[in-house]
Structure 1
């Protein structure tokens, strides 16, 4: 077995990190095999948001037929294996149809976050090789595919039989999914995931969660991100179960939708869990929800305990990154209230097909309780960062994938290693499960004609874990509202500062680097009143910040 101390050559680092850690073999040799397994299945796979008029339902057989129809249309329009196929991934069945069809063809699906603006979408697609974009916008970047020509229409015959030739089986190790993240540089890094990695990680999650064909998931997360797309949408298909695709999360309708749809499981982010706790709504009798997992950000132990006590449903925490497809560790099944004290804050034990360690700066494995960087290996890891060999090499140094997260492990009551997450090694801000890179916000603020220099940092917030603040040095008159609007127009609401301070001096090192941690400590007393405040995107220019009369928010994300 390869050890950290063996220090393989750089050329073999990625192969060593991505090599299987066990003898698992997927039951399907291709994505098409997985899909076609349900072509005669008349049980439900997908339920559209029940609150929508005329909400639709697909059986496994109907979904397979529609996916093949969309795939045939894509091929007829010129999409080929290896192409990048993008669309703005709103929470609608059509988005999933395009994703599943892209994989049938062998194209790499590129979901674009609908909360991002046109400029960011264009920048992300500019990094692709002649991408296709499903859009009815004539000015969209890339090669355009009109939705009316891609998606099946009622009464229009499927072109599957007309085309006949469905092309060669796509390679399981070619790029299948392209996600984006911001790491330690100001440029979003495109992450390439393979179908084999999806298979391996879904098998690990299915085993850890115990999901079966009887599992029905309610999906309230955006399918432009890994949790909503992989865990909440693709995993139910992989496990033979079903999913209820919601347009968005609304705490005042959550429990009634659970009862109406027959959902018995859900994957949440800590922000959503906090909203459910704050909302007065209670579950309807016999609602059936019995599986709740939380990921994509740190979960407050107190929130998990309160959720279990109030709703009587155990909460399991998972940990992973987009670079690891989805999940690396997960807490084991426990009765309500069984995880308490220190163990309540754990991110759990490694799922199967993954090996996880904590290492020191020299790459040596840390003993129990010693802090270091969390690293991992296994065949679910990404193929690499597209067109960024330097970042890829750094991520896979010494034959392990380096998460950039700080943490430690301890021996749990079951004798297995239980891991704990303490935050990013870098200064990244984790807002509601999404990463905000301070430097990218600094650059936007500094581009304002009245700003000399700016420093962005995170502060504690109940609803999102962390929110975004900025300290600005200005050489001309400018208001907080003007700077917030400036950022929202360029970054979107989520990544923009919610509070802006003005001053004449920033804490820096001897070589002029901003010391964000010192700045955050200095501003902490002024930011403390915002712990409970929910900053809303509805009014994009003026934050609703009445600190003297704070009420429980409505719980809409």
Structure 2
């Protein structure tokens, strides 16, 4: 039986969420913002599908009409302001149009990762109360939703009619900008999913910050190869171009062999990617040459090797800038500013940049006091771009929003640059999370599966540096009998999602722990670093 759950009102009591400057988005609601773009004949979207060998293009006026069409369909299905609408679909114009339509209605979008299992989707759908799920065309996509038993599938393919329509009437007052607009789910370091609720105001405020930090304008065309089920692909690559008056190229998937040809054919000027994509572009043997129009790429969502950035710039003649942010901060907190010289200073190559407008970022010690230059601590932030809250999770909110700051859980420090700004550096996470290919993985979930093997006495999953994924997964095991690495990896492959499976097993006799038996995972990671260093270049392909 389907139960309706409306988006909860925006949470404003956290001091860290207060604006830090005078800026406030000038629109009354999303519809007001959506209609404010007037360059109707300019190109907004180019959708490229290598799988289907198709390419389609929409002007600003055509895109607005397409969104109105999808909005009318949603109204016919009963969607209204305040409703949660999930989407389980890959990169396509229809998926993006559904996103805009949900926001135009004043609803809250709930992206689902197509790579996740049915149980994960069902858990998120039940928690969010979403009654509808936008899905790709095809019986399997519909069947995935039907198996959840709690939502109605809406096939996005075909929603974008060419019929000319005016702005649809919703029959209700527009939702204010402070209403929840985006509900992102993360497993966190405890393995329990946490719902991150963002308002449209936070999204628009952060878009203004990114526009100023990136220098994007009407001439900017962004090549989108990241999944739009994640914040980077959706908010930076796909939504920010509408905000700045530019355009986006939406690729159905990333391919190192076609990245440059798509960029050249569509005249893309930039792309926001993750370090994994940059590494694959460096390693791909291709006769293609970079598009002369593309001037830079922006890397985020994971640690970037300084040497990889330098090699990329030297090989392709395209600058690499870094950004840093979390889903909890909408998108971006810091970014490498536009470069005035030919190359970034070597000592700043590893930096995640300087604070973007409308935000404050600091590094604090365990007592919450600001750290001096070069002193390691926890990166914290405040400003109107922060999430409303972790929904229905008072303990997580109390931990994250303490002391008037949002605590990221990341360890770092800052140095003063020649420009007088604080340049921030990210060293790792205070929390025990493994970031593989930009995805956060709770090591405790892997521990549980490994220790469920009858010949495993105890185990601990740890990350290790890997060129292709940023971090890969190893597991340290104390065995209770004869057990091989191959046997244990097979055991994990049968019980874990592919991106969570360990790639290396190390057997030993003792796992460092505290006096109360808690694994000292950071210490174990350090102890194994030398042995695991030999897997730096390994791609671990089947």
- Given the superposition, is the C-alpha separation of residues 327 and 130 from structure 1 closer, same or farther in structure 2, using an over 3 Å criterion? closer
Q: How far is 1:372 from its partner?
A: 1.0
- Given the superposition, is the C-alpha separation of residues 528 and 25 from structure 1 closer, same or farther in structure 2, using an over 3 Å criterion? closer
Separation (CA, whole Å) in 1 of partners of 2:485 and 2:84 = 40
CA contact (8 A) 1:309 1:336 kept: no
Separation (CA, whole Å) in 2 of partners of 1:309 and 1:285 = 12
CA contact (8 A) 1:117 1:490 kept: no
The aligned residue for residue 18 of structure 2 is 19
The aligned residue for residue 45 of structure 2 is 46
1:523-534 to structure 2, matched below 5 A, reads: 523-534=528-539
Q: How far is 1:427 from its partner?
A: 2.0
Q: Which moved more, 1:366-375 or 1:350-359?
A: 366-375
Q: Which moved more, 1:320-329 or 1:61-70?
A: 61-70
Q: How far is 1:473 from its partner?
A: 3.5
- Given the superposition, is the C-alpha separation of residues 165 and 222 from structure 1 closer, same or farther in structure 2, using an over 3 Å criterion? closer
- Given the superposition, is the C-alpha separation of residues 48 and 185 from structure 1 closer, same or farther in structure 2, using an over 3 Å criterion? same
TM-score (norm 2): 0.91
The aligned residue for residue 335 of structure 2 is 330
Q: How far is 1:502 from its partner?
A: 3.5
The aligned residue for residue 313 of structure 2 is 308
Q: Which moved more, 1:472-481 or 1:376-385?
A: 472-481
CA contact (8 A) 2:313 2:320 kept: yes
- Given the superposition, is the C-alpha separation of residues 348 and 154 from structure 1 closer, same or farther in structure 2, using an over 3 Å criterion? closer
Deviations along 1:218-251, one digit per CA (max 9) or x if unpaired, are 0111111111111000101111111111122111
TM-score (norm 1): 0.88
Q: How far is 1:283 from its partner?
A: 5.6
Q: How far is 1:509 from its partner?
A: 2.1
Q: How far is 1:472 from its partner?
A: 2.9
Aligned match of 1:394 in 383, 394, 399? 399
Determine if the alignment matches structure 1 residue 276 to structure 2 residue 281. yes
The aligned residue for residue 9 of structure 1 is none
Aligned match of 2:239 in 212, 234, 239? 234
In structure 2, list runs of 5 or more residues that go unmatched. Answer: 1-10, 136-141
State the SS of the aligned residue for 2:498: coil
CA contact (8 A) 1:48 1:56 kept: yes
1:39-118 to structure 2, matched below 5 A, reads: 41-49=40-48, 51=50, 52-118=52-118
Separation (CA, whole Å) in 1 of partners of 2:77 and 2:360 = 42
The aligned residue for residue 555 of structure 1 is none
Separation (CA, whole Å) in 1 of partners of 2:158 and 2:198 = 25
Q: How far is 1:383 from its partner?
A: 0.5
Aligned match of 2:196 in 188, 191, 194? 191
1:143-542 to structure 2, matched below 5 A, reads: 143-147=151-155, 151-152=158-159, 154=161, 157=163, 164-281=169-286, 284=289, 287-335=292-340, 337-475=342-480, 479-536=484-541, 539=542
State the SS of the aligned residue for 2:175: coil
Separation (CA, whole Å) in 2 of partners of 1:417 and 1:225 = 29
- Given the superposition, is the C-alpha separation of residues 164 and 231 from structure 1 closer, same or farther in structure 2, using an over 3 Å criterion? closer
CA contact (8 A) 1:407 1:422 kept: yes
Separation (CA, whole Å) in 2 of partners of 1:285 and 1:50 = 20
Separation (CA, whole Å) in 2 of partners of 1:358 and 1:246 = 37
The aligned residue for residue 554 of structure 1 is none
Deviations along 1:295-352, one digit per CA (max 9) or x if unpaired, are 1111111111111111222211111111000000111111565313221111111000
Separation (CA, whole Å) in 2 of partners of 1:248 and 1:339 = 30
Deviations along 1:191-240, one digit per CA (max 9) or x if unpaired, are 11110000000000011111111111101111111111110001011111
CA contact (8 A) 1:73 1:159 kept: no
State the SS of the aligned residue for 2:398: helix
- Given the superposition, is the C-alpha separation of residues 103 and 200 from structure 1 closer, same or farther in structure 2, using an over 3 Å criterion? same
CA contact (8 A) 2:15 2:404 kept: yes
Q: Which moved more, 1:135-144 or 1:172-181?
A: 135-144
Separation (CA, whole Å) in 1 of partners of 2:469 and 2:13 = 34
- Given the superposition, is the C-alpha separation of residues 91 and 479 from structure 1 closer, same or farther in structure 2, using an over 3 Å criterion? farther
CA contact (8 A) 1:469 1:499 kept: yes
Separation (CA, whole Å) in 1 of partners of 2:34 and 2:237 = 17
CA contact (8 A) 1:69 1:152 kept: yes
CA contact (8 A) 2:215 2:338 kept: no
CA contact (8 A) 1:39 1:62 kept: no
Separation (CA, whole Å) in 2 of partners of 1:375 and 1:532 = 33
Aligned-residue CA RMSD (Å): 2.3
Separation (CA, whole Å) in 1 of partners of 2:37 and 2:253 = 28
In structure 1, list runs of 5 or more residues that go unmatched. Answer: 1-11, 540-557
Q: How far is 1:520 from its partner?
A: 2.5
Deviations along 1:356-380, one digit per CA (max 9) or x if unpaired, are 1111111111111111111110000
- Given the superposition, is the C-alpha separation of residues 196 and 171 from structure 1 closer, same or farther in structure 2, using an over 3 Å criterion? same
Deviations along 1:149-207, one digit per CA (max 9) or x if unpaired, are x852556x57867x744532112111111112233322021111110000000000011
Q: Which moved more, 1:494-503 or 1:409-418?
A: 494-503
- Given the superposition, is the C-alpha separation of residues 178 and 501 from structure 1 closer, same or farther in structure 2, using an over 3 Å criterion? same
CA contact (8 A) 2:290 2:316 kept: no
Separation (CA, whole Å) in 2 of partners of 1:67 and 1:166 = 17
Separation (CA, whole Å) in 2 of partners of 1:485 and 1:120 = 22
Separation (CA, whole Å) in 2 of partners of 1:159 and 1:131 = 26
- Given the superposition, is the C-alpha separation of residues 187 and 411 from structure 1 closer, same or farther in structure 2, using an over 3 Å criterion? same
CA contact (8 A) 1:130 1:143 kept: yes
State the SS of the aligned residue for 1:65: helix
